Structure 1
Amino acid sequence: MAVIGLRDPVEGDWGRLRGLQYSSLARLTFARLMAHAVAALLVLQTFGGRVHPALLVGWMALLVSVLISGARFDRSLVDADRRRVSRQEMHRQTISSLFVALAWALPMLVFGPFGDAAGRMTLWTVLAMLMTGMAVTFAAMPMATVLFSGVVGVSAVAAFLFEGEYTAAAVSTVFVVIVSVGAVEVARTFLGARVAEAGMAEKSEVVSLLLREFEEGDADWLWQVDANRRIRSVSPRFAFALGADPEDLEGKPLIQVIAGPAWEDGHFHSSLHDLAERLKRRESFSNLLVRATLHGSHRWWELSASPKVDDNGTFVGFRGVGSDVTEQRESAEKIAYLARYDTLTGLPNRLMLTEALGDAMGYSEKWRSNCAFLMIDLDRFKAVNDTLGHLVGDQLLAMVSDRMTRIIKDGEVCGRLGGDEFAVVVRDVADSQRIAELADAIIATLSQPYEVDHHMLYVGASVGSAIGPRDGATVETLLRNADLALYRAKDEGGGSHCTYEPALHAHAEERRKLEFSLRHALERSEFGLVFQPVVDATSEAVVSFEALLRWNSEEHGSVSPAKFIPLAEDTRLIVPIGEWVLRMACQEAMNWPPHVKIAVNVSGEQLLDPYFAETVVGALAASGLPPHRLEIEVTESIFVRDATVAQMTLENLMGIGCGVALDDFGTGYSSLGYLRKMRFSTIKVDRSFVQGAAKDNPESLAIVRAVVAMADSLDMSTTAEGVETEAELETIRRLGCKKIQGYYFGRPMSAADARGLFSQTRILERKAG
């Protein structure tokens, strides 16, 4: 049905194929008209004296009209091979063929009875000639042949049967069937050939398009060499890549062209040797990286090619593609550099240091030697970063890296782990004294002053070291143990070198267990508060208590605050713990006389919590404690981390009526700027100055006098901490401190004991009354 044209399959562009099929009609129009003219003359000659002239003229007029109409339509299909043929055009051509068939059926039906058997046979011969011609010339149009043969054949068979010529009727029937079947088969072959031609044309078009796009690309080109490895058929893009004209490159050796000046001295890049070997062995290669020297500059090419042979199997050269990958290679090298080197200092980063340590461990295992890993952390760097900004901090780190590179020797790798942490890998530790000398040199060199943007900066360094494989058989273990040693050096105050000891691991494990227990201490109700009294320096009456946190753990027993408070701050557990302390302290303060205040220590982590002010307000509201009876104690160190946030939080608390005490004044990052910006209610003098003043230490006496005078002028109160003896008490009174805190007046006590102080006071007052 598809061959005849009664339907189009779903697959394929049949409108285009019909165009190829119908385009042949226009080419055969003249030949077809001449054939019909000759046949018409034979009919006229056969029946000229037997049929009335009017019938013959009428028939000729009808035949000429339908043939001219059909010819005009066929000429409109002259461009059908370049477009699609519609179903309307197909139907019109079918109707045209039907009218021609009906015009030729008339002579057999109308003229036949006027002649004898010989005349009818002559007419049949003419019609058979036309049917055969249609089957041959209309191979692309089986529908036209089938219609013509069917209509004319049926008329002939009817005429023979009417005249009783049954043999002629049978022969005519067989002939019509053979012609129709043959026309369909010829059309099938023709259409199959057109489908194949269309497929080949489409593939050729696609290949041409791809080659054109490939050749017009910015980075790729085609190249070809003959059996002697000389360039042939130079493509424009290949010539452009070489920076020369195609005519100048034709016939030149490929290696000579891309080697540049190296062709003369013979010192080729290794990639060119590799290319020459591939060409010599006549083997295919893909994505071969080659360095080309063009006009004094080096470029990197990626070449692919396959050997070519002629029809006789003789090798005729190579044909392939190439592309310039210089930018990609430079980008890849830059990415590889960034992956292994620190961008700020230019030193090897953690990845490269880990690889260097792995190589050192492998070397030690092979030669039964030792290697070492030193981890360095800068002391006081965070203060510089927070106060002067990251730009100054980055410049300081760059200076540190310069000093580090001047210290190390051959066989040692220095790098930056991140932040203010550096490391050194020592490949072969022939003398264990070298590690101590290197660590001391690092500490001494990095502790020298730095001048950055007109700022004179002082930072120190702490060093932790581990020896492999003694202190660890794997890279991970050695890194961890060096870190533990560094942690010990930092705990000891910094500026020192500690080597790894197995006890450090036990200490770290103990800290881990302590942290685990600390995370569950609140839910287990293991915390408690004790209260140390603060008395008036003149009347010695209790004016406030400082709430102090204690932890009695189920696993570890009584844990010192000096041990668990820093741990809570490191893990930020101090925030929920501090909230609990605030609530409990405010509730207990409600059991005291209205004039007695409660002081609660607050860490920097709590002040940086955006909800801390709400926490204080919640604790006051839940307990009913007036805000003026709560005093928040802070140290100067909180202003180093984020002075703006800390100041805003404290101002909010002072705005609701709470007092703020500055604890340990003079021992931290002292700055009178804090006193100018914030109106503290109390300044607490550290116990070291109190003890020094009692011993008539001039510096301590001067500091205490200055603090008291400054506080008086700023309308602030002063509290002397750590008063333990009567001599210290008299000295502090003489210097003018208004409040005193220390063992002389009372150690930290339970809540019941604190309430008992006021009961005793009431009893004494009643006795005195």
Structure 2
Amino acid sequence: MGAGAAAAQLCIAGLAAAGAVILARLSASLNTARAGAREKEETLSLLLREFEHDRAEWLWQVDGTRRMRHVSPRFAQALGIEAQAAEGLPLIEAIAGEGWKTGALPASLRDLAERLKRREAFSGTIVRVQVDGAARWWELSGTPICDEGGRFAGFRGVGSDVTERTENAQKVARLARYDQLTGLPNRMMLNESLRRAMTGAASPHGHCAFLIIDIDRFKTVNDTLGHAIGDGLLLQVAQRLRAMMGAGDMCGRMDGDEFGIVITGDASAAAVQAMAAAIIERVSRPYDIDRHAVHIGLRIGSATYAGNAETGELLMRRADLALERAKEAGGGVHLAYEPGMQAEADKRRALEHALHQAVDNAELDLQFQPVVDTESERIVGFEALLRWNSAAHGRIAPDVFIPIAERTGAIVPIGEWVLNRACEEAAKWPAHVRLAVNVSPEQLLHENFTQALSHALDNSGLAPARLELEVTESVFLRDGAAVQATFRRIEGLGCTIALDDFGTGYSSLGYLRTHRFSTIKIDRSFVQGANKNSAESVAILRAVVALADALDMTTTAEGVENDSELENIRRLGCTRIQGFIFGSPMDAREARALFGQGGGAGTR
């Protein structure tokens, strides 16, 4: 072999050796990369397990095509399928159920799909999903992720099943807009419907009308046949009214035995009269309730809006004025509002005048009703209740004179008197006993309210923490910013605020989100409903109690009158009780005497 051939062989051998080294290095690098990827996946799986351990949440991940990856056992359990089967499935398809095939996806699920498509981060999104054929509610948060090269690689996030919380919230939210007994819209919803109708009737020839219906002899039915028959009557009246509504019209329960109707179609005087006559004829027909034949009458007042500058509240007041005249005229009567009715109302100003003089004439007095701890049955506070014994008119019921005081502004000086007198009395009680005082919206929003409150506390020496001011849900129909500002000033003084009569007219979870109350007072109607084994009442009570517990609020059940109601309320978890079972309203001397019976022991 020549020298040239030998040199060539040596060159080839060198190149082969170098190639083998390069291949070996590439193979080693590849193996290292694969091992690193496996290590990353194992690390991710470990993190998933550690995160989900002892937590209600689970982690989820999708790739760039929105298919599920690294499905953890907890996420698979939420999906209702095995983790291996879930791997690689499109997320939206997996949680859409039948809606995926039909295209009828819930709005929340469509919104989620759009966010994923737009590669947009989201947090706390509530979506309605289908798992094993059942509807569930999930709360999802997600953030886009990128690979090592900075390319979009999908989403990773956290989720949890919030079905129970969401359904409870929906029940409480429904409470804000519908009457619990009849299922009809409540006063708040009627008010909103009337405002919309008036907006639609703002054209020169537009009309809408509002009717208020009062049941004649309802109190007699309640007193003679019992509240169960009375409730049954209200339910059947609601059913008859609902069946008579035209397209766009709305009927609802205003309060007690009063119903309201918003007419948005033909609201001419003749049409309203015909509607009222038909309601009186049909709704007044006899009722058969639990084998009792019940006969009632109706009185109706109405007011029509014809596109002028009237407000919804003014239209309701005019209908109410007409109703008062209809009541005076007897049963089975409908009267439409007339300007002269205002003159008739002016005749009642004598009572208003007397009320303005009530403080100076020493005609007002306070009574106190015990509030007790549910478990120990020991007195933890009293609610101050205002009474008026007029020299000219005799004893006047609070539901008569309080609205007059609010309407005329007399509630401000009267409210100041109540605060001063109640604080003076409460300062004589044991230090652990608190005082609750009702405050009307007009009084609360008066410019001098917090000054009057501070004055009452300073003069009496009562510790501010012992005073709880009760407001009703109607306060939230006022200037929201002013209400919140006043709340902050009250709490700045050291007092607390309770939400009274929760669920009777305007309640919403929004109120509880915007302000942290110390106490939620649950209306007696729910106490009665729970005692009758009403599933709806029990569910709502549980939801309210759970909500209050979560927000660190106490709950007071109002109007508890017997042992059966007491046991139900105790079982449902209310923290405090107020009602005749522990004591009717009493004068200051009687209230003080209770503390001589064991230092604040229960009154039973």
> TM-score if structure 1 supplies the norm length?
0.40
1:393: which partner in 2?
A: 230
How far has the Cα of 1:267 moved from its partner?
4.4
1:233 has 2:70 as partner: yes
Show CA shifts across 1:300-331 (max 9, x none).
22221111113321222211011222222222
2:301: which partner in 1?
A: 464
2:180: which partner in 1?
A: 343
Partners in 2 of 1:268 and 1:380 — Cα distance? 51
Q: Could you say what secondary structure the match of 2:159 adopts? A: strand
Partners in 1 of 2:399 and 2:131 — Cα distance? 60
Show CA shifts across 1:696-726 (max 9, x none).
xxxxxxxxxxxxxxxxxxxxxxxxxxxxxxx
1:245: which partner in 2?
A: 82
One-letter amino acid of the counterpart of residue 96, structure 2:
A
Partners in 1 of 2:294 and 2:108 — Cα distance? 52
Alignment of 1:118-197 (within 5 A): none
1:643: which partner in 2?
A: none
How far has the Cα of 1:466 moved from its partner?
0.4
Q: Could you say what secondary structure the match of 2:185 adopts? A: coil
Show CA shifts across 1:727-764 (max 9, x none).
xxxxxxxxxxxxxxxxxxxxxxxxxxxxxxxxxxxxxx
Change (3 A) 1:457 1:275: closer
1:322: which partner in 2?
A: 159
Partners in 1 of 2:345 and 2:114 — Cα distance? 60
Show CA shifts across 1:55-79 (max 9, x none).
xxxxxxxxxxxxxxxxxxxxxxxxx
How far has the Cα of 1:519 moved from its partner?
6.9
How far has the Cα of 1:384 moved from its partner?
1.3
Alignment of 1:494-505 (within 5 A): 494-505=331-342
1:271–1:291: 8 Å Cα contact kept in structure 2?
Answer: yes
Q: Could you say what secondary structure the match of 1:313 adopts? A: coil
More strand by share: 2
1:352: which partner in 2?
A: 189
Partners in 2 of 1:259 and 1:570 — Cα distance? 53
Change (3 A) 1:463 1:218: farther
How far has the Cα of 1:566 moved from its partner?
11
1:257 has 2:94 as partner: yes
1:308–1:315: 8 Å Cα contact kept in structure 2?
Answer: yes
Change (3 A) 1:411 1:263: closer
Partners in 1 of 2:395 and 2:194 — Cα distance? 33
Change (3 A) 1:449 1:517: same
Higher RCO (CA < 8 A, seq sep 6+): 2
Change (3 A) 1:569 1:295: closer
Q: Could you say what secondary structure the match of 1:385 adopts? A: helix
2:325: which partner in 1?
A: 488
How far has the Cα of 1:287 moved from its partner?
2.1
Percent identical among aligned pairs is 52
The CA RMSD measured in Å over matched residues stands at 3.3
> TM-score if structure 2 supplies the norm length?
0.50
Partners in 2 of 1:218 and 1:484 — Cα distance? 59
How far has the Cα of 1:361 moved from its partner?
0.9
One-letter amino acid of the counterpart of residue 322, structure 1:
G
2:204–2:307: 8 Å Cα contact kept in structure 1?
Answer: no
1:305 has 2:145 as partner: no
How far has the Cα of 1:452 moved from its partner?
2.2
Change (3 A) 1:335 1:514: closer
1:765: which partner in 2?
A: none
Structure 1 gap ranges (5+): 1-206, 525-552, 554-560, 574-769
1:471–1:478: 8 Å Cα contact kept in structure 2?
Answer: no
2:207–2:268: 8 Å Cα contact kept in structure 1?
Answer: no
Partners in 2 of 1:405 and 1:364 — Cα distance? 23
1:465–1:486: 8 Å Cα contact kept in structure 2?
Answer: yes
One-letter amino acid of the counterpart of residue 333, structure 1:
Q
Match of 2:268 among 414, 418, 431: 431
1:442: which partner in 2?
A: 279
One-letter amino acid of the counterpart of residue 424, structure 1:
I
How far has the Cα of 1:284 moved from its partner?
0.9
Show CA shifts across 1:398-421 (max 9, x none).
111122122222121111111110
1:280 has 2:117 as partner: yes
How far has the Cα of 1:286 moved from its partner?
1.5
1:375–1:482: 8 Å Cα contact kept in structure 2?
Answer: yes
1:515–1:567: 8 Å Cα contact kept in structure 2?
Answer: no
Show CA shifts across 1:619-667 (max 9, x none).
xxxxxxxxxxxxxxxxxxxxxxxxxxxxxxxxxxxxxxxxxxxxxxxxx
How far has the Cα of 1:367 moved from its partner?
6.9
Structure of larger gyration radius: 1
1:37: which partner in 2?
A: none
Q: Could you say what secondary structure the match of 1:340 adopts? A: coil
2:241: which partner in 1?
A: 404
Partners in 2 of 1:313 and 1:518 — Cα distance? 77
Change (3 A) 1:217 1:355: farther
Q: Could you say what secondary structure the match of 2:223 adopts? A: helix
Alignment of 1:29-178 (within 5 A): none
Change (3 A) 1:278 1:296: same
Partners in 1 of 2:192 and 2:214 — Cα distance? 21
Show CA shifts across 1:456-493 (max 9, x none).
22110000000114787101101111100000000112
